[in-house]
DNA sequence: GGGCAATCAGACCGATCTGGTCTGATTGGA
DNA sequence: TCCAATCAGACCAGATCGGTCTGATTGCCC
């Protein structure tokens, strides 16, 4: 029940990128130096984020990355899903996935849907824009 | 962003145990046979749950386990924390834990508290009693 | 009172995944 | 044309998880 370090760093990097949104493209190395994340790790995260469609990247000299969407349209859920894959607490919430041998006899299976939806919603209501504010915006339901 | 199989199985086992609440003590093997979880794994989970104080166990012939508290007083958060440790999305939400090198310069750190609380709350509002019902009770906020 | 069977409890090991580093492909500028 | 800068993907060590096994403890039965 904890998200991976990669995902955590991804949030930090995206937050830093959001502050440079109006400016020019920034390189992954710049973001790494700004946040303290190791440079190679930052490159890998940027790669994943770009592949997921959250960032727009340009290679070559003077290249860099920038947000593919406005900061207000990117949520924590998007970032987490980009790094860790779909948000699915149990193995049976994702339709089409049937990796659990207990399906059919499992009594709690139908309940996971609601719980999973609640968590996904909690993460979806926190946008990058709210992360840029210094004060705490209770973007998530209490 | 997914919980471990052990925690998932723990929820299933606790749900099965809750149905036997009014009866006699049940053995871990019985619950395993009833749910389909491998027997040794079920024993391990029962062990962890007992150590966490969610179950009351008795050794010896005729021994077994029973809920330490009413089913309505046990939530998903309790079970998950018993298996996976404290619910802390990032490394900096738990007061006293300072394992992250980015603390101090990290801009998103103060926001994790609200998110973490929201998720913990979502899991805390689902009780074992609601899991025993067949119909879906939206015990979690939409 | 002694032996036995049943049960929980903890230690051990293999497998999977994560986290991190490295090298290569690509692009723009000098 | 060459070079420097940057992203992109492959590679490997470490940690954690999942599962199995054996041992300690208790109550029952003889
Ligand atoms: S079927 Fe039951 S045990 Fe299997 S993943 Fe779903 S909730 Fe968990
Ligand atoms: S300080 Fe920042 S990077 Fe470190 S755990 Fe907290 S949120 Fe994540």
Query: Which residues in chain A have Cβ-Cβ distances shorter than 8 Å to B2?
Result: 84, 87-90
Q: Which nucleotide is nearest to B57 (CA to C1')?
A: C8
Residue pair A88/B8 in contact by the 8 Å Cβ criterion = no
What are B3's two structure tokens? Answer: 């919980």
Residue B93's pLDDT is 82
Percent of chain A with pLDDT over 70: 89
- Calculate the average pLDDT of chain B: 86
A73-77, A96-100, B57-61: least confidently modelled range: A96-100
Nearest residue to B140 via CA among B127, B122, B124: B122
Q: Is the pLDDT of residue A49 over 90?
A: yes
How many domains are there within chain B? Answer: 1
Q: Which atom of ligand 1 is nearest to the CA of A104?
A: 1
Query: Which residues in chain B have Cβ-Cβ distances shorter than 8 Å to A102?
Result: 12, 35-37
CA-to-CA separations, A101 to B8, B9, B37, B84, in angstroms, rounded: 13, 11, 9, 22
Residue B131 and residue B137: Cα distance in Å, rounded? 8
Residue B22's pLDDT is 64
Q: Which nucleotide is nearest to B51 (CA to C1')?
A: C9
**A46 burial via Cβ count (<10 Å: 0-12, 13-18, 19+):** buried
Residue A82 belongs to a domain with what CATH number?
A: 1.10.10.10
Q: Is the pLDDT of residue B48 over 80?
A: yes
Residue A97's pLDDT is 63
Residue A137 lies in a domain: no
Interface test with A, best of B107, B117, B123 (most A CBs within 10 A): B107
Per residue in B93-116, pLDDT tens?
A: 876 666 788 887 888 888 888 889
The Cα angle at residue A123 between residues B104 and B15, in degrees rounded to 5: 115
More confident residue, A95 or B13: B13
Q: State the DSSP code for B72.
A: G
Residue A135's pLDDT is 62
Q: Which atom of ligand 1 is nearest to the CA of B8?
A: 8
Tell me the mean pLDDT in the region B51-62. Answer: 91
A68-72, A100-104, B62-66: least confidently modelled range: A100-104
* Domain hosting residue A122, numbered range: 5-131
Tell me the mean pLDDT in the region A71-85. Answer: 93
Residue A38 lies in a domain: yes
User: Greatest CA span in chain A, whole angstroms?
Assistant: 58
Which residues form the pocket of ligand 2, taking CB atoms under 6 Å from any ligand atom? Answer: A 8, 12; B 90-92, 100, 102-103, 106, 108-109, 112
Residue A139 lies in a domain: no
Residues with CB under 7 A from strand D: A 27-29, 40, 43-44, 46-47, 50-51, 57-65; B 4-7, 9, 38, 40-41, 43-44, 58-63, 84
Q: pLDDT band for position A55 (50/70/90)?
A: very high
Q: pLDDT band for position A14 (50/70/90)?
A: very high
Residue B137 lies in a domain: no
Per residue in B28-47, pLDDT tens?
A: 999 999 899 999 999 999 99
The Cα angle at residue A79 between residues A73 and A83, in degrees rounded to 5: 155
């Amino acid at each position: 029940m904890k998200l991976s370090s990669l995902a955590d760093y991804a949030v930090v990097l995206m937050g830093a990128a959001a502050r440079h949104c109006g400016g020019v493209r920034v390189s992954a190395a710049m973001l790494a130096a700004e946040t303290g994340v190791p440079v190679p790790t930052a490159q890998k995260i940027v790669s994943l984020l770009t592949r997921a469609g959250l960032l727009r990247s340009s290679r070559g000299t003077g290249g860099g990355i920038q947000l593919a969407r406005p900061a207000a349209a990117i949520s924590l859920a998007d970032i987490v899903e980009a790094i860790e894959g779909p948000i699915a607490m149990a193995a049976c919430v994702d339709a089409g996935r049937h990796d659990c041998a207990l399906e059919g006899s499992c009594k709690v299976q139908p309940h996971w849907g609601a719980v999973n939806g609640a968590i996904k919603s909690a993460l979806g209501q926190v946008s990058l824009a709210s992360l840029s504010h210094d004060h705490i915006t209770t973007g998530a339901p209490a």
